[in-house]
Amino acid sequence: MNNENEEEFIEIRLTDIPKEFYSEATGKPFANCSVCEKHLLTAGTRYMVEKAVKRYPKYKHQDVIFEYAICEECQIQMHEKLSTESKQRMMEFMNQRVKPGARSNKFYHEERFELTDWIGNCAVTQQPLAELTEYQIMAPFDGNKMAYTVFPMMLSVQALDEMVELLSTKSLEVLNGFKDDITGMPPDLHELFKESRFVVM
């Protein structure tokens, strides 16, 4: 994000962790980093949670294809391994397509702090969640609180496909390696996870 946009996000509002971001596996908030297992629910410990959902509207059923929490340290380590070009292209994509300043104005400055306002539509394509068969949600946390910044955010599979296209072969290899480091994935979903689009913010 450029400096102009960063100034928009100095304010951070913290709320209790919404159920949408609980671990599907435990029915509770994520307590540990899915990579290094560091404890997360202490104030001052920052991390992201990301969940990918596949919906089968015909059967009124949905699966969480993958979910993980990643602590700030592990996230920084992984980002360092991604290629500079990939990171640059992703940043441009976010600035041009998500428009963080406009997003912040729309929600933050109007004090709209209902989660559905933030994740009800794809942040890139604006498609409503109810019409999607596959999407990911992601948000930043601090201990047992969720932080409203430019996140929480929902990305449709169409947006994720565009983002994967921006990644270099090297970066895709890094992300695929990261998938193997994630613990606690249900074994029966392992194949779906392997094939899923995976973009760490």
State in angstroms the smallest separation of the CB of 3 from Zn ion. Answer: 28
Measured from the CB atom, the residue of 77 and 168 that comes closer to Zn ion is: 77
Q: How far apart are CA 176 and CA 51, in angstroms?
A: 16
Q: In this complex, which beta carbon is closest to Zn ion, that of residue 71 or of residue 155? A: 71
Closest CA to 50 of 173, 179, 161, 168: 179
Phi, then psi, of 49 in degrees rounded to 5: -120, 135
Tell the smallest beta-carbon distance from residue 39 to Zn ion (Å): 10
Q: Show the tokens assigned to 116.
A: 């559905």
> At closest approach, how far in Å is the CB of 184 from Zn ion?
13
Query: What's the closest the beta carbon of residue 32 comes to Zn ion, in angstroms?
Result: 8
Least Å distance, CB 72 to Zn ion, is: 8
- Whichever of 38 and 197 has its CB closer to Zn ion, that residue is 38
The residue (of 38 and 145) whose beta carbon lies closer to Zn ion is 38
Which one, 142 or 162, has the nearer CB to Zn ion? 142
The footprint of Zn ion (CB under 5 A) covers: 33, 35-36, 38, 71, 74
Q: Closer to Zn ion by CB, 35 or 90: give it.
A: 35
Least distance CB 61 / Zn ion (angstroms): 32
Q: Return d(Cα 38, Cα 41) in angstroms, integer.
A: 10
**Residue 18 in tokens:** 């919404």
